[in-house]
Amino acid sequence: MRQSDLLSSMAIHDKLSKVIALLLPYRLLINVAVHALLFALSYAYSILLINGLVADGTALGIFYNSVLPLILLRLLVFYWHDLYQGLWRYVSFEDMINIIRAVVISSLLFYCVGLVWERAGVAEELYILDMTFSIMCTGGIRFLMRSFRERFYHHRPVEAVKRVLLVGPLDKIQPVLKEFVGDPQGNFLPMAVVDPLKSGDTSLTRVCDVPVISIEQVLAGNRKYSEVDSVIFCWPEGHRRQVDAVVERLKPLAVPFKTIPHIDDILKGRVSINDVREVEIEDLLERPPVQIEMNKISAYLKGKTVLVTGGGGSIGSEICRQVAGFEPRKLVVVERSENSLYDLLLEFRRDFPKTDLSASISSVNDAQGLKALMSEHRVDVVFHAAAYKHVPLMEPAPVESAYNNIEGTFNVAGAAVAAGVKRFVMISTDKAVNPANVMGVTKRIAEMVVQSSNGGATRFMTVRFGNVLGSAGSVIPIFKRQIQDGDAVTVTHPDIERFFMTIPEAVQLVLQAGCMGSGGEIYVLDMGRPVRILHLAERLITLSGKRPYEDVDIVFTGLRPGEKMFEELFNDAEQLQPTSHPRIRTAVSMPVDKARLESQLAQIKQLIRGKQGKALLARFHELVPGYHCPADQAETTLVACGPGHARVDALADTVSPVALHPVAHSGK
């Protein structure tokens, strides 16, 4: 193509892009209107041919008396055959068969209608001619549109095209494949369709002129299939165990694994076929969908003022998002980190402009400030997600951990009672069960504080669950960063296991638990089966297009101080009882001795003020007899209750004498 022609083509392309962007939301309406016009023109031309190309009164009478029912019948039958969803980018043999079938069926129906009502002199030949022209017009315009796009709308550079394998069963992949093949601007060139449900040699099968092959054929050594840039799953609703099995079998390709958006979103123009994303570890974990009682949750959130502590953290910010969907009267966010709070404000202005959000840069350690804040806004519901969560950081800092997790919870609970809050829900952790570290034991004592606060007008409850995928500081982002940087992936122990849940599903169940019970309960979420961290690391390496132990090594660093091999969601002193929700259970234990707890809390506060870390550890053991700290920990513990104290290196477990200020109150 000459340069002038290329520039002309690009100019037309730019204009077309703007026009298409404007028309895209009305695609279905335009498709229906174009088809109706084509049906009318085909019928009119057929009448003219029958009438010797003379548009006299007889021809016009036949047209006006019968064109409307014909168009309506054709439109309904075409809709029934799903012929309005195509983007006219690729015309397959199956499309033409559907068009012929739809035209024939609608013509037969039209003929039957003519038998019932007077046909106004309609000749038999008219039905045959109309069928022929309708098939030619509706099929021809698709070929015309494709040629037009390829002529004026195609200038992608060759080096930008990625060779890919598309994975999915044939009945699911056809409409997606048409998008890939027929999009001249697309970034992907399908080399083959891999049907995971087939085996052996399937090379004789083709869809949209793309070969359909089995996984065995991919691995057979054909460079056309094995030397691709990525594997794209066109199977968004596929069973996660099946997707995981395909990833395992195609691991030798050493290419990234991606997935497409849902096909309905593509066909409706919400997203492009090129908007593929990386396959995340969440896509492979076997997690049943969460079902929640929307009416019951709405009953205690809609039109109410909701306060969230730690609202800038992973869990806290998701609580804010999901609460906003229930139309609260006001959402009050308590957060110590100004950056996290600012990011949340920007997000809400963009995504939830109708939500009345009040942002408060404040701390759960400010008891009087919390009481004033809750009274000022007349808070109805509190979600307490603010906590220190990092085990290695908290292990040598029991003073700061107690100050935030224990005294902070005491302050929030006290402010809720003083302000007449109706419901109080605290986020807890599986590390509070048989705690083996400072963070876990402080959260267990926080659970006791919440339980002992129940009994008045405020319903207090705790929701306990394990790790959430993708939260700040969790293993998944750390592993991804190590893989991206070309470093070895570090795992503490080859057999260590953890419970995992996605952040949205955990918060859904937290909101569900908030509408249950009469107060004082500890709810335990069903986390499914525990997952080996080593398996997660290996899978993430594979998904990134690398080979574990070859391209990326895995190094075992040993358990960190306070780290357990296996986490638990309840202990031997607790009995699990079912609730009205299948994925939420209640951990029933002996009631908390409120008088003894208050006495111990008073002593803990004094020890915090005196920065007496060793004495705090002993007090923790008195309150939670199952807690045992390492013997040498008391000798190395430094406290951080203000400036001039300690900072801990979480990886090296060392302490350096620099100032440490609390950075953020964040959820799990």
**Domains plus CATH for the chain?**
3-152 (no CATH), 158-279 (3.40.50.720), 294-473+499-527+566-591+623-656 (3.40.50.720)
Q: How far is CA 466 from CA 94, 264, 427, in A?
A: 50, 34, 11
CA 632 to chain CA centroid, nearest Å: 43
pLDDT band, very low/low/confident/very high, at 607 (cuts 50, 70, 90): very high
User: What's the Cα-to-Cα distance from 566 to each of 190, 430, 493, 562, rounded to whole Å?
Assistant: 44, 10, 11, 12
DSSP 591: P
pLDDT in tens, 390-427: 898 999 999 999 999 999 999 999 999 999 999 999 99
More confident residue, 145 or 121: 145
How far apart CA 543 and CA 553 sit, in angstroms, is 15
Span 249-270, mean pLDDT? 75
Neighbours of 186 (CB within 10 A): 20
* Least-confidence region, from 87-101, 335-349, 440-454, 567-581: 87-101
Residue range 366-383, pLDDT digits in tens: 999 999 999 999 999 999
In 466-556 the beta strands, taken as DSSP E runs, fall at 467-469, 489-491, 497-498, 500-502, 522-525, 531-532, 554-556
**pLDDT of 298 above 90:** yes
Mean pLDDT of the chain: 82
pLDDT level of residue 639 (50, 70, 90 thresholds): very low
Q: Which of 304-308, 510-514, 622-626 has the lowest mean pLDDT?
A: 622-626
Q: At what angle do helices 367-377 and 408-418 cross, to 10 degrees?
A: 40
| Number of helices (H), then strands (E), in the chain | 24, 24
User: What's the mean pLDDT in 270-274?
Assistant: 60
Rounded (5°) CA angle 580-581-584: 115
Confidence band, pLDDT 50/70/90 cuts, at residue 1: very low
Question: Which helix (H) or strand (E) covers residue 112, if one does?
Answer: helix 93-116
State the pLDDT at residue 562.
76
Q: What is the pLDDT of residues 151-160, one digit of tens each?
A: 554 455 555 6
Of the pLDDT bands very low, low, confident and very high (cuts 50, 70, 90), residue 3 is very low
Helix residue ranges, H only, 485-631:
503-514, 533-543, 594-609, 613-623
Give the 3-state DSSP-derived string for 295-358, with helices as H, strands as E and coil as C. HHHHHHHCCCEEEEECECCHHHHHHHHHHHCCCCCEEEEEECCHHHHHHHHHHHHHHCCCCCEE
pLDDT at 93: 67
Q: Which two tokens stand for residue 495?
A: 């057999």
Dihedral sign computed on CA atoms, order 362, 367, 368, 374: positive
Cα–Cα dist 388/390, whole Å: 6
Q: What is the pLDDT of residue 116?
A: 64
pLDDT of residue 197: 79
| pLDDT at site 514 | 95
- pLDDT for 606 equals 96
Q: List the single range of 176-190, 501-515, 545-559 with lowest mean pLDDT.
A: 176-190
Output the pLDDT for position 402. 98
Q: What end-to-end distance do the CA atoms of the chain give, in Å?
A: 58
Which secondary-structure segment (H or E) carries 248? helix 240-249
**What amino acid positions are annotated as catalytic residues?**
431
Per-residue confidence (pLDDT) for residue 365, from 0 to 100 = 96
Please determine, for residue 660, whether its predicted confidence score (pLDDT) is greater than 50.
Answer: no
Cβ neighbours for 399, distance < 8 A, ≥ 6 positions apart: 607, 608, 611, 612, 613, 616, 639, 640, 641
* pTM, entire model: 0.68
Query: In a 3-state reduction of DSSP, which class is residue 601?
Result: helix
- Most confident of the following: 111-120, 165-174, 364-373: 364-373
More confident residue, 635 or 105: 105
At residue 633, does pLDDT exceed 90?
no
The predicted pLDDT at position 442 comes to: 98
- Are 234 and 168 in contact by the 8 Å Cβ rule? The answer is yes
The residue-averaged pLDDT of 23-34 equals 77
The predicted pLDDT at position 87 comes to: 45
The stretch 303-314 carries a mean pLDDT of 97
559-604 pLDDT, tens digit per residue, is: 887 788 888 888 888 889 999 999 999 999 888 889 999 999 999 9
Q: Between 610 and 176, where is the model more confident?
A: 610
- 552, 558, 563, 566: CA torsion to nearest 10: 70
Give the mean pLDDT of 320-326. Answer: 97
3-state secondary structure string across 406-451: HHHHHHHHHHHHHCCCCEEEEEEEHHHCCCCCHHHHHHHHHHHHHH
Report the range out of 397-406, 623-632, 638-647 with the highest average pLDDT: 397-406
Quote the percentage of the chain above a pLDDT of 70: 79
Q: Which element (helix H / strand E) includes 625?
A: none
- The alpha carbons of the chain give a radius of gyration, in whole angstroms, of 33
Predicted confidence (pLDDT) at residue 654 exceeds the cutoff of 60:
no
Give the per-residue pLDDT at 8: 53
From 69-78, 237-246, 564-573, the region with the lowest mean pLDDT: 237-246
Q: Token pair of 288, please?
A: 């049943």
